[in-house]
Amino acid sequence: MPDYRLLTVAAGNLHATENTLIDFNRAGWINVTVRHGCQFISGKDEYRARFILHLRQKLKLTDTEIGIVLSNEKPPYSLDQVPAILARHGAERTRE
């Protein structure tokens, strides 16, 4: 499968757990594909997962806020646009 990698490999690349990526899949943020009993993720979704991890870890966004950002931000992703996106959707946060 071109441009796909095993979920375990992608999780290692992202310094995340497989369960975290599966949770992202359940939330509808990325797609995990099963083929021949193995789980795979596309390069595009690995890139998207990296952005989601930044939103969680660096900006401390909630799942609801992440959903808002992802529905309004297209690649190439930029953390600089996140406050404006949240403000437009009434989800502005106070940051320290």
Count of structural domains within the chain: 1
Q: What is the pTM of this model?
A: 0.89
Strand order, beta sheet including 38-42: 4-6, 38-42, 32-35
| Cβ–Cβ under 8 Å, residues 10 and 19 | no
Q: pLDDT tens for residues 68-86?
A: 999 999 989 999 999 999 9
* Structural domain contains residue 96: no
* Structural domain contains residue 34: yes
| Cβ–Cβ under 8 Å, residues 15 and 48 | no
Per-residue CA distances from 35 to 2, 4, 8 (Å): 13, 11, 14
Q: pLDDT tens for residues 30-55?
A: 999 999 999 999 999 999 999 999 99
Domain span including residue 29: 4-88
Residue 36: CB partners within 8 Å, gap ≥ 6?
none
* Structural domain contains residue 65: yes
**CATH assignment of the domain containing 75:** 1.10.1660.10
Q: Comparing C-alpha atoms, which of 11, 8, 15 is closest to residue 38?
A: 8
